[in-house]
Amino acid sequence: MFTNILNDFIKEVKKHTDLPVLLFPGNAMQVSNEADGILFLSLLSGRNPDFLIGNQVVAAPILKQTDLEILATSYLLIESGRETTASYISNTKPIPRDKPEIAMATALAGKMMGHQLVYLDGGSGAQHRVPDETIKQINKNVKSPIIVGGGIKTATELEAVYKAGATIVVVGTAFENDDGVLGSL
Amino acid sequence: MFTNILNDFIKEVKKHTDLPVLLFPGNAMQVSNEADGILFLSLLSGRNPDFLIGNQVVAAPILKQTDLEILATSYLLIESGRETTASYISNTKPIPRDKPEIAMATALAGKMMGHQLVYLDGGSGAQHRVPDETIKQINKNVKSPIIVGGGIKTATELEAVYKAGATIVVVGTAFENDDGVLGSL
């Protein structure tokens, strides 16, 4: 049932763009062969083994049956002013926002494990976005593409995040509230 | 102190061989720039976050200061007849020896995370070596070099492990007991 909804959604998206569609799965069930690739996430900011290896072992044999490009991703939750859904559901603590050196060491460990991407997330509807200093330190020391999301509410903030070193910036809640929020960008 | 012993040991080994020297660290302190490379281990068979990310975050900034080649490695303990030091110290359970499909799914997850190598370990002084079927399934489905160690006591067993698909076979305790154990191999 869920898979059908996901498949239909991706098909609809693909009618409107030629860009590749990447899955950002919330759990091991959120897999669809209609997409082009999937972020294979390790929640490295946390210390919950379910999100470091448990779900990955369940997902791996399923993914092997698909044609999806698999993108090994260090997923780091960064403290953003209040408890987020991702932090609560995963039963993990985000990295303190005033400790960019911890985020950097964590992303570096992910790189040494073979991860191709870093995803820094303040969480859905974050109060504060990921600090520029965190992005800068990772950009300088880790040399992987960096995805940044959470709490980005204006075009000015979007530009600041790119300027700090982000490769891809994710805007969700702000668009849901007002799809003109970023102006003509 | 410990670092000096390790450094001296590697220097001594290098007097006797031109082969690269790789570190197989027991913890984040066992790093020496005298070696050529290091296995960057993730204990994927276990569910202890210290050995999935905690130690790696401590080690990563130290390793960045070295010239060591970093080899991302899926480290899997396989049940071998009795509790081993590795299993006890890491406070993790090994993969049941009659469940090659779990070992395979775990190694596949490691591959998707970006790991370059698989290390299957029965543990030091294991009663039974890693089952051939486990090695075969991983060899068939994961396509990474496979290191196998633990409980290999004779030349016949060594040959069987290579035949099952191992790339490198580790013999430790048997050599310590009798350095002629493998004959003229």
**CA neighbor of A139 nearest in space, from A114, A107, A170:** A107
For a pLDDT cut of 90, what percent of chain B falls above it? 85
In angstroms, the CA A14 to CA B39 distance is 42
The ipTM is 0.95
Q: Do B112 and A47 touch (CB under 8 A)?
A: no
Q: Do A60 and B112 touch (CB under 8 A)?
A: yes
Q: Do B60 and A115 touch (CB under 8 A)?
A: no
Question: Average of pLDDT values for B83-107?
Answer: 96
Burial class of B22 by CB neighbour count within 10 A (0 to 12, 13 to 18, 19+)? middle
Predicted pLDDT of residue B143: 92
Structure tokens at A146: 């960096």
Question: Average of pLDDT values for B82-92?
Answer: 93
**Average pLDDT along chain A:** 94
Collapse the DSSP code of B17 into the 3-class scheme (helix H, G, I; strand E, B; otherwise coil) and give the result: coil
Nearest-by-CA chain B residue for A47? B49
Predicted pLDDT of residue B133: 98
Question: Average of pLDDT values for B47-53?
Answer: 98
Question: Average of pLDDT values for A12-28?
Answer: 94
Question: Average of pLDDT values for B62-72?
Answer: 97
* Nearest CB to B44; choose among A53, A102, A104: A53
Query: Which is it for strands B22-23 and B37-43: parallel, antiparallel or unpaired?
Result: parallel
Q: How confident is the model at residue B50 (pLDDT cuts 50, 70, 90)?
A: very high
Q: Do A112 and B54 touch (CB under 8 A)?
A: no
**CA neighbor of B19 nearest in space, from B35, B39, B41:** B35
Q: How far is CA A17 from the centre of its chain?
A: 21
Q: How confident is the model at residue A185 (pLDDT cuts 50, 70, 90)?
A: low
pTM, rounded to two decimals:
0.95
